[in-house]
Amino acid sequence: MSEKPSPNDKYWELIRLPAARTYFFIASSGLIAASVATFLFSSPIAAAVLFVCGICSLVLRWTAMPVVYFLSLAYFSFAPLGVPEDFVFNQIPNSYLRVFDLVVVGGSLVYLFAQYRLYSILHAGMPFEAKKHFLKVTAKPPVRPSTPLPDAELGRFFGRLALYLIAGQTIWFLLSNFRVDLENFPPLLWQPTSEYYRQALEGPMLLSEPASRFALFAGVTLGVGFLLRFGFWYWQLHGMGREQGELILRDTEWRETRRELNRQEKWRAEALDRTPTLARPPFGFGSVVMVILAPLAIAFLAIVGICCAGIRF
């Protein structure tokens, strides 16, 4: 019989498995870069919190720590010392393409992406298709093979990270320099001067910097989400096989005609059930109308007619 694995084996898997070892060092490098940059340019408190969250997720495998890391990074971006400060919001218009932001965001992206790749190797690559009460106690989720990573995968990994970083800085650059001006078409203005702001104080058509930035961010988010939704939808349709398409059409047909089919099955069941019964049939809605509501309506109209005749008299 094989010996039962000790609880400490999960820590050695980070070094023993080739794929886990690669992504462990990549995630550690990104975490160290983001923590050191935060310590030097922002706050030691924020750096300590981010580093502790990363260590708990990498070594202890707490699956909630990447989410806590992301929320902590977003909070300490506006409150470096733990308390929100007003001057941070004044630095937003000129906060694009800074070395600190590039290092922190780049290191955080490297850490988060590598951390979830590491979870797919050690924790679970895909969730269970069945619900929990249908699974056995000893059932384990499928994981990714821990074979050495090909060079093409690492190239695509860092290429996507660079693309996301450039796209994020580009979007932030546009949000920091455009203003929403509802008096013109298109309703966008590039870097309005202070003189323009003084002239626009009389009317509310030029939004303030926070309101304009929020409106642009909401528009960009909705537009990108709309394009991605229909892009992935068309990609799924393009790669769909014949059997899968037939199943989807049948499922759609069932959803559209299930009420009519259900009614037909009820009629068929009633026709097959011809056993005689001596019980009184239940009152339907028509019986209720004829027995109760009709006399009440007649009585009400009679009372109204008597009252009107009395008033006229």
Domain boundaries, the chain: 1-130+138-149, 166-237
Q: How far apart are CA 193 and CA 174, in angstroms?
A: 16
Q: How far apart are CA 192 and CA 205, in angstroms?
A: 14
Q: Which of the pair, 301 or 38, is modelled with greater confidence?
A: 38
Q: Which of the pair, 18 or 189, is modelled with greater confidence?
A: 18
pLDDT, residue 111, reads 92
Stated as kind and residue range, the H or E segment containing 180 is strand 178-180
* pLDDT tier at 312, thresholds 50, 70, 90: very low
Stated as kind and residue range, the H or E segment containing 50 is helix 44-58
Query: How many helices (H) does the chain have, and how many strands (E)?
Result: 12, 2
Q: Which of the pair, 18 or 305, is modelled with greater confidence?
A: 18
Q: How far apart are CA 51 and CA 31, in angstroms?
A: 7
One-letter amino acid at 31 equals L
- Determine the average pLDDT of the residues in 172-181: 76
Selection from 200, 128, 9 nearest residue 209 by Cα: 200
Alpha helices in 273-293 (DSSP H): 285-288
pLDDT above 90 covers a percentage of the chain that reads 5
Selection from 189, 187, 164, 159 nearest residue 174 by Cα: 189
pLDDT, residue 85, reads 66
Selection from 116, 226, 216 nearest residue 160 by Cα: 116
Q: In angstroms, how far is CA 173 from the centroid of its own chain? A: 24
Task: Report yes or no on whether pTM surpasses 0.75.
Answer: no
Q: Which of the pair, 132 or 35, is modelled with greater confidence?
A: 35
11 in Cβ contact with 112 (< 8 Å): no
In degrees and rounded to multiples of 5, residue 69 shows phi and psi of -60, -45
